[in-house]
Amino acid sequence: MAKNHQTFACQSCGAVYNRWRGRCEACNGWNTIVEETGAASPVSGPVATRPSRARGRIFPLEGLTGEVKEAPRTSSGIAELDRVTGGGFVRGSVILLGGDPGIGKSTLLMQASAALAKRGERVAYISGEEAVGQVRLRAERLGLASAPVELAAETNVEDIIATLSQGKPPALAIIDSIQTMWTETVESAPGTVTQVRGSAQSLIRFAKTSGTAVILVGHVTKDGQIAGPRVVEHMVDAVASFEGDQGHHFRILRAVKNRFGPTDEIGVFEMTDGGLAEVPNPSALFLAGRDLAAPGTAVFAGMEGTRPLLVEIQALVAPSALGMPRRAVVGWDPNRLSMVLAVLEAHGGIRLGGHDVYLNVAGGLRISEPAADLAVAAALVSSLSGAALPSDAVYFGEVGLSGAVRPVAQAPARLKEAQKLGFAKALMPQGREGAGRDGSGTGFPAESLRHIADLVAGVAASGKPVRGGRRQPQRLPAYDDEDL
């Protein structure tokens, strides 16, 4: 008989310990270690007498030239979803989809499953959190009640695999969510690290043997990370994150990991009364309603994967009455903002130590590439001086600690997107190819900047001068005594 042994596993990262601890040494999380009981594998019997020599075949790399083919894919019918996955669902692949509660994960998967089912594919939607009636009500609200999607409310992994194995293998199976699944091979409560890992392993094995594309829905923690052991992210083929602010009407599907396609690709959706609608031109959506004459705003020409994207950077610099001025950032890296502020003070001649700085990426989009340094610096200088930047200009470039503006990749794609949306000028670093006036050979007017001081001088010359880092006092309109 197998002997039971006790282990303690961290519910955040999956680290295993032989005794309880208050803090996990792997992820530094407090009170995340929970006791788990499992059966130890026996050391005697057929397993112990099995020969240890491997009998697998080894194939030479040069002999596989004619056999290498692109993985077969199944289009989801949603162009933005296919963009993120790399052209569709690969047969036998497993995708882990995470997102905040209420962001629209189930809505997106219901629309994708209905589109596949209407084309004659077998699609199964397994819900571990809702009853079949609740899932059917959501489909009726979306107008998808007539789609031949197989629905089930089950949490036992063995029963799910046995049901899906009957008849033709499904083209797509959706598990909502992986934290509610449990397997009989693990003696632990559902939602623990051992159960999540064991359930995911069984579903991955089923996907590889049957050729069914499986989507696992995962919950997220307070900091936006997918809850559960990080080992699940390494087990699956692709990891996607569904982001967005509930105060805004659009959602962003971002690929974090993809073995069969590009990473850092995004798909933009708009939340409507009829579900999620695709946004073919997200740049126009992010720039809609911007104030052209307001100081402190700059348009950044960025790249999200292979897609160029124009967003508005908003900055507000105000005198502070506090001993330690406040720095608030939404949609960008706070450490990157501190670096840009230090470069502006050291090499731009601008004093920002006595000012509160607020930075926001309009629309709720999160930017991670360093090419936004130049646009952020332009918005900060514009807000401090009170001079509005040209409304028909875009900015992109990386700012170094020496104050030099460094070139970034994919400049022609950024300029082409700006030209398509009606912009007439670009302020960018001097590229390796020699951007000059034509913007790397695209015919788009571009002004090359070599140092951050050139940007400060250009903004100061276009409006109110910057003296000592303080905005010049402005005379507000007042009434005369005769008008009263």
Question: Which residues sit in the known binding site for ATP?
Answer: 99-106
Between β-strands 327-330 and 307-319, what pairing exists: parallel, antiparallel or unpaired? unpaired
**Architecture of the domain made up of 285-462:** 2-Layer Sandwich (3.30)
Q: Distance (Å, rounded) from C-alpha 272 to C-alpha 183?
A: 38
Q: Distance (Å, rounded) from C-alpha 296 to C-alpha 446?
A: 21
Per-residue confidence (pLDDT) for residue 114, from 0 to 100: 94
Cβ neighbourhood burial of 351 (10 Å; 0-12, 13-18, 19+): middle
Q: Distance (Å, rounded) from C-alpha 302 to C-alpha 287?
A: 13
The yes-or-no verdict on residue 5 having pLDDT over 80 is no
Q: Name the β-bridge partners of 151.
A: 125
pLDDT in tens, 115-161: 999 999 999 999 998 999 999 999 999 999 899 999 999 999 999 99
- Closest by Cα among 354, 348, 412 to 376: 348
- In three-state secondary structure terms, 36 is strand
Token pair 């004619």: residue: 66
Per-residue confidence (pLDDT) for residue 438, from 0 to 100: 47
Q: Are 341 and 401 a contacting pair, CB within 8 Å?
A: no
The arithmetic mean of pLDDT across residues 165-172, rounded, is 92
Q: Distance (Å, rounded) from C-alpha 254 to C-alpha 267?
A: 7
The string of DSSP letters for 175-205 reads: EE-GGG-B-TTS-S-TTSHHHHHHHHHHHHH
- In three-state secondary structure terms, 112 is helix
Q: Are 245 and 361 a contacting pair, CB within 8 Å?
A: no
Per-residue confidence (pLDDT) for residue 473, from 0 to 100: 37
Q: Are 279 and 268 a contacting pair, CB within 8 Å?
A: yes
- Closest by Cα among 216, 203, 47, 227 to 125: 216
pLDDT in tens, 255-285: 989 998 888 788 999 888 888 999 888 888 8
Cis bond leading into 382, ω under 30°? no
Q: What is the pTM of this model?
A: 0.76
Question: Which residues sit in the known binding site?
Answer: 99-106
Spell out the domain ranges in the chain: 4-41, 71-280, 285-462
Structure token pair of residue 91: 């047969």
- Domain range 71-280, its CATH number among 3.40.50.10790, 3.40.50.300, 1.20.1440.80, 3.40.120.10: 3.40.50.300
pLDDT in tens, 84-109: 998 899 999 999 998 888 888 999 99
**Out of 39-48, 120-129, 345-354, 401-410, least confident range:** 39-48
Distance of CA 271 to the CA centre of its chain: 17
